[in-house]
A and B are shown apart, each in its own frame.
Chain A
Amino acid sequence: MSKVVLKRLEKRFGEAILSTHDQFGDETAVVTPEVWHEVALFLRDDSRCQMDHFIDLTAVDYLGRRTPRFEVVLHMRSMQKLHRIRVKTPVAMGPDGENPKVDSLVDVWKGANWFEREAWDMFGIEFKGHPDLRRLLMYEEFEGHPLRKDYDANKTQPLVEYREGYEKQAPFGLPEGMPFGRQVHDRWKVHVAGRQTDGKTNILGFEED
């Protein structure tokens, strides 16, 4: 259905399109971050694409799986032509652990505003040119970006400290048993531990066996 759009993109941007695929029937183009904004504009304004309906913008953290580590994913559809497309761009952390950066699409689709704020909040991806890049779901005092794979799911940051001497566990405090059952994606720990620590402790400070 949207093969046409992929072809148009490849013809217009050439080398900047890193790859395309249509796995599970979803046409996808991976573009370089440099043309991210340009591609969005082209898709919206081109007479044969007309991707005017903004659907979704999010990010994925591929820690330990891919470099660059993050991928920003954009979904859109056309009201007229009824086709859909997904455009992705890989973005990397800076050399000193700076947040990854990519162009903001707020001037292309208004709806991108909150979606980019959410992606900033959850993944720490900075959208250059965003008019109001604040946290959206978490509170201002929150440190870190919870959907990154190296943010521990057990971690809590209560605004009001837990009461001392009160027998109350923080959420997810104790393991639920059956450790063989859950397949938790802990491979990043091995990955990170091997690279930057002395091998005895991993990034969270747990003793390795």
Chain B
Amino acid sequence: MEPLDVELEDGELELPTDPMLLNMGPSHPAMHGTVRIVVELSGETINKADVQIGYLHRGFEKMCERGTWSQVFPYVDRLNYASPMLNNVGFALAVEKMLGVTVPERCQHYRVLLGELARICDHLVCSGAMAMELGAFTPFLYFIKARDIIWDIFEEETGARLTNSFGRVGGMAHEPSPNFKEMVRTSIPAVVDLIKDGENLVLENRIFLDRLEDVGIMSKEDAIALGWSGVVLRSTGANYDARKHHPYMTYDRYDFDVPVGQKGDNYDRFMCRQAEIRQSARIIEQALEMMADEGPVNVEDPRIILPPKEQVYNTIEGTIQHFKIVMEGIKVPAGECYSYTESGNGELGFYMVSDGSGTPWRLRIRPPSFASTAGLEQLITGQMIPDIVPTFGSINMIGGECDH
């Protein structure tokens, strides 16, 4: 700091015209995650922005190379902690693609149901947090209340509210509980009602709309070249949803629409998320109808699925099976494979290289919000500082997956 009593020439007393460097984050209440943005300002307009991520880097890929394939599940839980179930299912599908097995139909519907519930949670957290950062605190509370209803279902089904670790290679950890369908049926209308209440508070609010509309516009071509996927891509008008265009599991049998935006601004991203929640509710209704009440959930393959505990304790075959799977891991055929699913943020891909042993040689995760966050720099350049907050919020950067 210059001392104030320095004698200055007259010309030096003018206001400085140099661009100013401002540091936002990494830990700031208005930031949607732990991320640092260094902005070069001219007045209040952003000339240049440098988005720096990595504060939540946990060496996920390195850790995966040290355990068995099944030991990866708790890690993928913590990738996108807003919707762990979708990650679980995505990884299970990836390993099953390499093993060449398909889970029974009942399990597929079950996975879809849990996945769509998780997707609703994901969108609710994002929209709620985004509104909260703009000062609208009450919708956040409504949305979190709605999420809590879904979390209660998860707690009942999986035993955990947040990090479920419920997926397994070749099935699920447990079959649906007896009152699962009833729970979902009664909860979904309550969730949708709460979302409507929350939306009513903001969607006719001039302040909220002014900060969303025509802010942070991304063109369709740029979004595609940037590798965007999911809601952020669809908001620009590009129609791509992995569930629709490359159907996996039973998604080709449900009747649902893909909400697509027009401009690619913050408002479109917000509204696409809200519309997608309704579509998820539609899928859930249909999946509930289609899911059988009885039948197997796991594939019948002793090399993949752990035997029931009675067999483990009472028969030598069961003990050996259990031992082999737990200690050596599931033997995945050698080769490489890329498997992708539509997660809360977009295309969640797993590129896996196996050497035929029970441990992955390389497990690459392609996080959807990594690509989205890469486009943030372009979105906020030329905008004002206050625009960073809603723009960054609408991108829905999830530190866990973005920073690996």
* Interface contact tally, CB-CB below 8 A: 124
Considering the complex, give the chain A residue whose CB is closest to the CB of B245. A82
Question: In the complex, which residues of chain B have a beta carbon less than 8 angstroms from the beta carbon of A75?
Answer: 338, 349, 351, 366
Q: Would you call A60 and B353 a contact (CB within 8 A)?
A: yes
Considering the complex, give the chain A residue whose CB is closest to the CB of B359. A183
Considering the complex, give the chain A residue whose CB is closest to the CB of B239. A79
> Among the listed A114, A138, A182, which residue makes an inter-chain contact with B370, where contact means beta carbons less than 8 Å apart?
A114
B149 at the interface (CB under 8 A from A): no
Question: In the complex, which residues of chain B have a beta carbon less than 8 angstroms from the beta carbon of A109?
Answer: 225-227
Question: In the complex, which residues of chain B have a beta carbon less than 8 angstroms from the beta carbon of A178?
Answer: 327
Question: In the complex, which residues of chain B have a beta carbon less than 8 angstroms from the beta carbon of A193?
Answer: none
In chain B, residues 77-98, which have Cβ atoms closer than 8 Å to a Cβ of chain A? 97-98
Considering the complex, give the chain B residue whose CB is closest to the CB of A108. B225
B62 at the interface (CB under 8 A from A): yes
Cα A118 to Cα B52 with chains together (Å): 12
In chain B, residues 85-127, which have Cβ atoms closer than 8 Å to a Cβ of chain A? 97-98, 100
Q: Would you call B366 and A56 a contact (CB within 8 A)?
A: yes
Q: Shortest distance in angstroms between A21's beta carbon and chain B's nearest beta carbon?
A: 9
Q: Would you call A181 and B57 a contact (CB within 8 A)?
A: no
In chain B, residues 336-363, which have Cβ atoms closer than 8 Å to a Cβ of chain A? 336-338, 340, 347, 349, 351, 353, 355, 357-359, 361-362
A58 at the interface (CB under 8 A from B): yes
Cα A156 to Cα B366 with chains together (Å): 25
Given A54-B225, A75-B351, A138-B57, also A26-B338 (CB < 8 A): yes
A23 at the interface (CB under 8 A from B): yes
Q: Would you call B337 and A26 a contact (CB within 8 A)?
A: yes
Question: In the complex, which residues of chain B have a beta carbon less than 8 angstroms from the beta carbon of A25?
Answer: 97
Considering the complex, give the chain B residue whose CB is closest to the CB of A26. B338
In chain A, residues 106-157, which have Cβ atoms closer than 8 Å to a Cβ of chain B? 109-111, 113-115, 118, 122, 135-139, 146-147, 153
A73 at the interface (CB under 8 A from B): yes
Considering the complex, give the chain A residue whose CB is closest to the CB of B98. A24
Question: In the complex, which residues of chain A have a beta carbon less than 8 angstroms from the beta carbon of B224?
Answer: 52-54, 79
Considering the complex, give the chain A residue whose CB is closest to the CB of B94. A24
B238 at the interface (CB under 8 A from A): yes
In chain A, residues 32-90, which have Cβ atoms closer than 8 Å to a Cβ of chain B? 52-56, 58, 60-61, 65, 73, 75, 79, 82, 84, 86
> Among the listed A56, A118, A122, A138, which residue makes an inter-chain contact with B349, where contact means beta carbons less than 8 Å apart?
A56
A180 at the interface (CB under 8 A from B): yes
Cα A24 to Cα B338 with chains together (Å): 9
In chain B, residues 274-333, which have Cβ atoms closer than 8 Å to a Cβ of chain A? 326-329
Q: Would you call B403 and A137 a contact (CB within 8 A)?
A: yes
Q: Shortest distance in angstroms between B364's beta carbon and chain A's nearest beta carbon?
A: 5
Q: Would you call B351 and A183 a contact (CB within 8 A)?
A: no
A-B pairs with beta carbons under 8 Å apart, 22 shown: A24-B98, A53-B240, A54-B225, A54-B227, A54-B371, A55-B347, A56-B364, A60-B362, A60-B364, A75-B366, A82-B246, A84-B338, A109-B227, A111-B228, A111-B371, A114-B371, A118-B370, A136-B54, A137-B404, A138-B54, A147-B62, A153-B63
Q: Which residues of A contact B (CB under 8 A)?
A: 23-26, 28, 52-56, 58, 60-61, 65, 73, 75, 79, 82, 84, 86, 109-111, 113-115, 118, 122, 135-139, 146-147, 153, 178, 180-185
Q: Which residues of B contact A (CB under 8 A)?
A: 53-54, 57, 59, 61-63, 65-68, 97-98, 100, 221-222, 224-228, 238, 240, 245-246, 326-329, 335-338, 340, 347, 349, 351, 353, 355, 357-359, 361-362, 364, 366, 370-371, 373-375, 378, 403-404
